[in-house]
Structure 1
Amino acid sequence: MNITTIFDQFHANIRRNRWAGYFTVFLRIALAYAFIFAGFVKVNGERFTSLSNNHPMGHYLEALFHTGYYYTFIGILQMLAGILLLIPRTALLGALIYFPIILNICILSLAVRFDGSILTSPLMVMANLYLICWDYHRWKFILPFKRSTIRQMLPDSNSNSREFPFKFFGGIFLSLAVTVSIIILVNLKALMPRNHISDCQAQCPESSDAVACNHFCECIHEEGGSLNQCLEKYGRTVQK
């Protein structure tokens, strides 16, 4: 039995389970709500946050706001992805449109250490990947693997199992715990720009060099320096 057959059987077993189905519906609604709301703000021509333009994320969002119809285009795609997720027949298409957008948001949040989505965006990426895998039977045939059948239909809904899949959900929660732990550990001692200068300076008393930390916060929020520039200045100050 090859790995594709094993995964096919695992996928079929999960699709039979009602609890996994309920969880999938919950994820679709949650992700759809997030993007429909965020997309509507853009389509309506409003700024997405009240972050200072000097904040690293504020730099990006302000520039994005001034891109004209590109800003609106992103909002339309977000709303479209969210609406498609809510419709069972189009949920896979919605997940596929959703993925590159949320992956970009995730990488951006990690790159600029943005408090607002540094934790939620990786979890949304994982949820999005789950939804894509949920419809694995619909796109698996584009993969370069040899298969004995052209199409394998899912079992009838009347044969769905009501048994709670403890191992399946245990694996999901373990993945979430590992992801959250890694994010927390990576950023635990990292100097964060925070959303406002007061929040940024609040971490300084715990810093090895409070003066350098305060200079870092001023560099971000008052001078409008980039994250890398301000971190380099912080490093040079600490070394003196």
Structure 2
Amino acid sequence: MLKLRAIYNEARADKWFQRFAVFCRIVLAISFLPTSIVKIMGQRFAEGLPHNNPLGHYFDALLLTGYYYTFIGIAQLTITILLLIPRTALLGAIAYFTMIINITVLTYATRFDGTRLITFMLLACLYLLIWDYDRLKHLFIKPTETTAPVIAQPLGKKLRVYFFGGCIALITLIIAGTFYIYEIMPGNSEEECRNQCGSKNPNACQVFCDCIYKQGMPLDTALAIFNRTKNLRKP
């Protein structure tokens, strides 16, 4: 624990890590700005997403919730402002995390094509929470009188290489992993859905896309029909 604490202190004092924290704050704030304005104006989010898409069903229902939809937009705009102000950045990161974790689970559940980007946003928010660990820990850990450990041999540039190299490796893993996490996906349009039908189980894939975009079936129902159709072709 003392070694981790020492590495944390070194990272906090490093300008590269400080700039990365500012970068994450700005990017996360920008990500919520257009979505909040759309909701406050009472417009459907992701207007280009078909209504029969699994996530399109969700956005249609959310739009019909009235002032709750507007409330979400106001909350997102408030989080945007909190993230941009240094003194309130931690509060903004905490509020952002409560929303982005919900959005992440939603995108994985509906097999949304933008899942990778949402995952990166979640990781950026986690970085901000870890960055302000010294302030955040008082919510969970009883403060004690301890002196900060001193690093005998600072890692220096190696710490940057380890961290940012690890970030690149994690991003690569997420991008590669999400290609194989699902056998079939609805895509963001009917065309995208059918474009994946040229490899395995083309007939079952076409049936799946028909269930989603022609008949407007729920994702679980379409997947069940896809699996039945796929299994019928097996000897």
- TM-score (norm. length: structure 2): 0.88
What is residue 58 of structure 1 aligned with on the other side?
56
Mapped to 1, the partners of 2:164 and 2:226 lie a distance apart of 43
What's the offset of the Cα at 1:211? Answer: 1.9
Query: Letter of the aligned partner of 2:181 in structure 1?
Result: V
Q: Report the count of equivalent residues.
A: 224
Whole-angstrom CA distance in 2 between matches of 1:32 and 1:11: 25
Q: Could you give the per-residue CA deviations for residues 6-53 of structure 1, whole angstroms, max 9, x where no partner exists? A: 333222110100011111111111110010111111011111112222
Whether 2:173 is the aligned partner of 1:178: answer: yes
Counterpart check, 1:168 vs 2:163: yes
Identify the match of residue 195 of structure 2 among 202, 208, 211: 202
3-state SS of paired residue (1:119): helix
**Structure 1: runs of 5 or more not aligned:** 153-160
* 1:102 matched to 2:100: yes
- Matching residue of 1:232: 224
For 1:37 and 1:55, how far apart are their aligned partners in 2? 21
Residues 32, 81 of structure 1: 8 Å contact kept: yes
| Runs (4+) off by over 3 Å | 144-149, 161-164
Q: CA deviation at 1:230?
A: 0.4
Cα distance in 2 for partners of 1:224, 1:128 equals 35
CA-to-aligned-CA distance 1:196-226 (integer Å, 9 cap, x gap): 2122111112122x22211110100111101
TM-score, normalising length from structure 1? 0.87
| SS in structure 1 of the partner of residue 120 of structure 2 | helix
Match of 1:21 in 2: 18
**Amino-acid identity (%):** 40
Aligned to 1:128: 125
**Which sits farther off after the overlay, 99-108 or 138-147?**
138-147
Inter-partner Cα distance in structure 2 for 1:182 and 1:148: 44
Q: Alpha-carbon deviations, 1:149-206, whole Å to 9, x = none?
A: 4x97xxxxxxxx995722222222223233333223313xx21111221221111121
| 1:129-167 deviation line (CA, Å, top 9, x unaligned) | 001111111111233467334x97xxxxxxxx9957222
Q: Which amino acid aligns with 1:10?
A: I
Label 1:113 to 1:77 Cα distance change in 2 as closer, same or farther (>3 A).
same
Partner of 1:35: 32
Q: 1:20 to 1:49 in 2, by over 3 A?
A: same
* Residue pair 1:41, 1:75 contacting (<8 A) in 2 also: yes
Aligned residue identity for 2:69 = Y
- RMSD of Structure 2 on Structure 1 (CA): 2.0
Supply the distance in 2 between the matched residues of 1:148 and 1:39 (Cα, whole angstroms). 43
Contact 1:36 1:83 in 2 (8 A): no
Does 2:45 align with 1:48?
yes
Residues 162 and 76 (structure 1), Cα distance of their counterparts in 2 relative to 1, 3 Å cut: farther
Tell me the equivalent position of 1:221: 213
Alpha-carbon separation, structure 1, partners of 2:185 and 2:157: 45
In structure 2, the partner of 1:10 is 7
Consecutive unaligned residues of structure 2, counting only runs of 5 or more, are 149-154
